[in-house]
Amino acid sequence: MSAAETSRVRYRRPRKAESIEARLLEHVQRLGEEHPPIPLDSADFTMKRPDLLASRFGGVVAYMTRVELEVERNVLELNLLLPDPPPVDKLFYAEVWSPQEIHHGLLLDKLQSLAGLPGSPPNVDKISFQLRFLGALAKLPSIQDISRMLYYLTGVATEQSAILAYNLLHKGLLDLDERAVASTIIAPIRRQEPGHFAYYKIAARGLWSEMAPWQKWLVRMLRKQSFEVVGAYNKRQRGEFGGVMEALGITTDGDEGIRKYAQQIGRVERDLLWAQKQGLRFPGYVLDALRNAVRLHRR
């Protein structure tokens, strides 16, 4: 899809919405130009102590690999949930975000294989009944806007989690003196995540300003009921995410460390969804989900 095609608006929108779409389009074009998918042959998989790397960060690498490779299914879900999205959304997730993330997954998959770690098969095609049901409702424009808002909020939390995780993993690998892996695999991956986060944040703020009160109320309720830690779709995966938090040192300071993590993940939706609650550091459901993941891991 060309820039000219994506810039054509099929229906008249308020000037503010047009401004947001123009800003998003510029951002997506810049991401595509400056951050193409990381070439697989650019990575140096040399490891000094693959056994130690696997012992310390095997669970982290396995979890991240699965989540990155499940982007293929995520695109199918988005096509279902957003039957008539703004062109810039589709340009972003189909032509920029998805190719970048799939390459992240392929790089991490090779790393875990060379480190002697078992593979973690991703779910690339099975879509839940709940999402199929929401996709059917999303044919109504007012409901699709709610789906879009939930998509943006999930994207914000997911990318913020990824930024924090890759930063901590990069530091941990340097502490192990695994400089080749840290500098040619993890560092290039983490450079691409902030651009994704920025897209979701801009889009979320723009759409929230246009939504009717009843839509905002429903978004708050659905988000409160459906929030989950990134990449977790069942009890086992929630426990695995708790293991990721522990391996990366997020729980070193106990519950205070988890609370700081919740604050970082939930900042954007706190400012949007819960702005009326003065002094709120983060939505309580974010902290509850993180605590639950840690509890499941420790059982």
pLDDT in tens, 101-147: 999 999 999 999 999 998 878 988 888 888 888 888 888 999 999 99
Q: 151 versus 3: which is more confidently predicted?
A: 151
Q: Dump pLDDT digits (tens) for 159-214.
A: 999 999 999 999 999 999 999 999 999 999 999 999 999 999 999 999 999 999 99
Residue 16 has a pLDDT of 58
7 band by pLDDT with thresholds 50, 70 and 90: very low
- Percent of the chain's residues with pLDDT above 70: 94
CB contact at 8 A, 103 and 40: yes
- CB burial of 17-56 (b: ≥16 within 10 Å; e: otherwise) equals beebbeebbebbbebbeebebbeeeebeeebeebeebbeb
Output the six-digit token pair for 261.
């993590």
- On whether the pTM is more than 0.95, the answer is no
Write the pLDDT tens digit of every residue in 249-264. Answer: 999 999 999 999 999 9
Q: Would you state the pLDDT for residue 15?
A: 54
Q: Across residues 65-90, what is the average pLDDT?
A: 94
% of the chain surpassing 90 pLDDT? 84
What pLDDT, on a 0 to 100 scale, did the predictor assign at position 290? 98
Across the chain, mean pLDDT equals 92
According to the model, what pLDDT value does residue 8 have?
40
Cβ 105 vs Cβ 185: under 8 Å? no
Identity of the amino acid at 298: R
Radius of gyration of the chain (CA): 19
